[in-house]
Structure 1
């Protein structure tokens, strides 16, 4: 007697690959802390950025040492990174550049206290880390220093989050064509279009209603630029993580990974938003 036909397996639902409830809870919690510090007292928000920078540097240098035996000196990076953010807020772009140069010099000198083997790769990684994390984060402090700084920073954060959300939502639902399969297999061209569309709409609304002297058409351009820079930032960190052979930079944030896994799209977007804000509505 022939075997009875087996029922077809039920189709598998798409999964986000993370604990969604934990991710939402952590995201909401971070959002409350950020918005509260941003609008209550500016220096408190500068402190929040500095703390995020130091934690991000710790994650990055820890993974470099674990996976590649690269010992980028954390102490001068952490001290210099925090100083860089404060200098950017207090003294502007000139202060940020001076702090960056002094941090790089401190990395070179600090590493001299150890044997010369691996000196070049260690200090190269250290200078890269100083640029990648605190220097790019300094542009958030530069935005904050304007008279309407909290609204500029809020616009920057909203557009980056909306861009990421649009990419995820559209890519998860409609994504079929890979964007960069060798770097990030989960990203799709459809997702990129979703990021552009969501960010441009959000940009038009933010520039029209949140930014003094802003206009909706400026927001369209701003949203387009944010979608591009956020995507490139995400791909850039994916390259780093693939080279290191890891999925996340850390485990500090349940459902998100580490601090660096949340800063990946924010860091390269900060100078882009700062520059366009200055071009559109001025720096003060």
Structure 2
């Protein structure tokens, strides 16, 4: 019986990605041409296959090759066995993983919208925050339903979330807490209109979504009520963006030691140090020159706190996305993902900045 070749004709490293296919079943195995699954021999004349080698050769003939002696074995002929040298793989360049031109363009556009509304009409900025909250809730509840089958009721969350932001701006912390309680109650009642199966799961997710997105966002609206509220909100936004930028720039250039590989493999300890350094410098400048009664040393503490909360917020949403098995919460913002992918650092940072501003310079 002729020996069946061990490897397909193309073989080598270029077929490494076929390994999984081979293991998945016989229909996906790479077999030599002329063989079918279940056969023990070739379906054609076996003469072209040498019994001395697994490599196919022309059949033996009475006339030897011109360069051979009559006793020369085909297996000793170097020409059929020669292989072209494989080129060395090209070195891989570091990639940001996103379309940077689109990301920068979208970021600049959002920045212009936010700053214009922040310093022209404060109420318009509150409306921008409310819209961002509603879109973020829509993204979060949609992903929960798609990936986990969790049906957190969107209507009471969207209405209650927008009302929460407005209440925080008009009535302060007391108004925000009352709106939060009413939103949770509305979620409980709204879900009663559907079958009881999964009720506890759905309302738990709904209350979590109400706290995670709109309630944390109300601290931005509460910052805005101070006399220098626009500058406080601008400081909050600048420090969060600078922290993220410092983490990205330093981590991409110098990052070697993973920060939390099971949650976010791209984050490094060097990146965290970059976030702290950048945010502390920016905090000192902002508190010294933008905030009434602020001091540079307060800015150092504020920057340190922002770097910590922004990093934890980013890791927290990464944990949610890993549990859901997704990369981004949405695709609304080219180069960024969804609204929630931009709010991940901002939301947990808002109460931290609001509290430290009250402690350092008061709430008025």
TM-score, structure 1 as length reference: 0.98
The runs of at least 4 aligned residues of structure 1 exceeding 4 Å deviation read 1-7
Residue deviations 1:132-166 (CA, integer Å, cap 9, x gap): 00000000000001110000000000000000000
Count of matched residue pairs: 284
Determine whether 1:39 maps to 2:111.
no
CA distance in 2: counterparts of 1:204 and 1:222, whole angstroms: 8
Bigger Rg over Cα: 2
Higher helix share: 1
Give the Å deviation of 1:6: 5.1
CA distance in 1: counterparts of 2:163 and 2:151, whole angstroms: 21
CA distance in 2: counterparts of 1:72 and 1:34, whole angstroms: 29
Q: 1:115 to 1:217 in 2, by over 3 A?
A: same
Question: 1:226 aligns to what?
Answer: 306
Question: 2:236 aligns to what?
Answer: 156
TM-score, structure 2 as length reference: 0.77
Residue deviations 1:103-159 (CA, integer Å, cap 9, x gap): 000000000000000000000000000000000000000000111000000000000
Provide the secondary structure at the position in 1 that maps to 2:227. Answer: coil
CA distance in 1: counterparts of 2:326 and 2:88, whole angstroms: 36
CA distance in 2: counterparts of 1:17 and 1:203, whole angstroms: 29
CA distance in 2: counterparts of 1:150 and 1:5, whole angstroms: 65
| Consecutive unaligned residues in structure 1, runs of 5 or more | none
Give the Å deviation of 1:10: 3.0
Once the two structures are overlaid, the 10-residue window that deviates more, 4-13 or 273-282, is: 4-13
Give the Å deviation of 1:9: 3.0
Question: For 2:288, which of 208, 222, 243 is the aligned residue?
Answer: 208
Give the Å deviation of 1:13: 1.1
Residue deviations 1:208-258 (CA, integer Å, cap 9, x gap): 000010000000000000000000000000000000000000000000000
Give the Å deviation of 1:4: 7.8
Give the Å deviation of 1:11: 1.8
Provide the secondary structure at the position in 2 that maps to 1:255. Answer: coil
| Consecutive unaligned residues in structure 2, runs of 5 or more | 1-80
